[in-house]
A and B are shown apart, each in its own frame.
Chain A
C-alpha cells in the first residue's frame, strides 16, 4: 500500500518555526514532494527529496528518511501568507520508464496567527 499520513491541522505564531510531518508506507515511492495550496488555488511546488537528508530552500526545508517512511517540512520565520494547506506527495513509479505520478496525502491546514 501507499498510504500517506499528515496531521489535519496545525496552528503557529507569526515569526515562529513549524514542522509538518508526513509518514508513509515504504513500498515503492521514488521520492517525496511538498506542495503548498492556498484556499481556492492550485497546489504550487515547494520542495523535492529523492535521497535521505535535508534540502534547504530559503525559509523552507524538507527532510526525508526513506528507511523510516518519514518526511517533514520545516517553515521558518512564519509569515501570515504562509497560512495554507501543505500537501505531502509520494512519487509512484511507472514501470514503463515514464514520469511517475504523485500520490497525495490529505494535506495539513496551517493557520498562522499574529
Chain B
C-alpha cells in the first residue's frame, strides 16, 4: 500500500512569512494527525482529524496555525505568520479508526524559519 504522502520535503522562509504543508493519508484511514517535531524532541500533536472533523486541537497555536481536511481525505496545515521557533519537522500521520491501531507517518516537511 502507498504510504502517507507529504509535500514539500523542505521549506525555508523568513519570519513573518506564510507557509503551507500538504498531506495525503493512506487510503481508507479516517484519522489524520499533524505533529510538530523540534530537533532532539519527540513529536508533539498539533491537531487530530476524524474524517473532516477536528477531534483534538488543544495544542494548536490558533493565532498563527490553521489546518483543514475539507473532504475527509487530504489535509493542509498553514502557518501565518511564521516565527523563528516554528523551525521544526512537521509530520503527518494517519491510522484506521480502530482502537489503538498504529499511526503511520509521512516523511515530514522540514521547515526552517530565518
Report which A residues bind B (CB closer than 8 A).
4, 30-31, 33, 41-45, 48, 50, 87, 89, 91, 94, 96, 98-107
How near does chain A come to B5, taking the closest CB pair, in angstroms? 11
Q: Pick out which of these stretches binds chain A: B13-21, B63-71, B98-106.
A: B98-106
How near does chain B come to A39, taking the closest CB pair, in angstroms? 10
Which residues from B are CB-within-8-Å of A105? Answer: 42
Instruction: Assess the A99–B91 pair: CB atoms within 8 A.
Output: no
Which residues from A are CB-within-8-Å of B105? Answer: 42-44
Instruction: Assess the A99–B98 pair: CB atoms within 8 A.
Output: yes
Give bound CA distance, A102 to B44, whole Å: 9
Q: Which of A42, A43, A101 touches B48 (beta carbons < 8 Å)?
A: A101
Chain B residues touching A, majority SS: loop
Instruction: Assess the B100–A30 pair: CB atoms within 8 A.
Output: yes
For A50, give the chain B residue with the smallest CB separation.
B100
Q: Which of A42, A43, A89, A98 touches B97 (beta carbons < 8 Å)?
A: A98
User: What are 17 A-B pairs with beta-carbon distances under 8 A?
Assistant: A30-B100, A31-B100, A33-B103, A42-B91, A42-B105, A44-B105, A87-B43, A89-B42, A94-B48, A99-B48, A99-B100, A99-B101, A102-B43, A103-B45, A104-B43, A105-B42, A106-B41
Give bound CA distance, A94 to B45, whole Å: 13
Give bound CA distance, A73 to B103, whole Å: 18
Extra 15 A-B pairs, beta carbons < 8 Å, given A41-B107, A99-B55:
A4-B42, A42-B107, A43-B105, A44-B105, A98-B50, A99-B31, A99-B48, A99-B98, A99-B99, A99-B100, A101-B33, A104-B35, A104-B43, A105-B42, A106-B42
Which residues from B are CB-within-8-Å of A94? Answer: 48, 55-56
Give bound CA distance, A22 to B100, whole Å: 19
Give bound CA distance, A106 to B37, whole Å: 10
Tell me the chain B residues, 34-84 only, with Cβ under 8 Å from chain A: 35, 40-45, 48, 50, 55-56
Which residues from A are CB-within-8-Å of B95? Answer: 99
How near does chain A come to B93, taking the closest CB pair, in angstroms? 8
Give bound CA distance, A44 to B97, whole Å: 18
Supposing A42-B107, A45-B104, A94-B56 touch, asked if A101 and B45 sit within 8 A by C-beta, the answer is yes
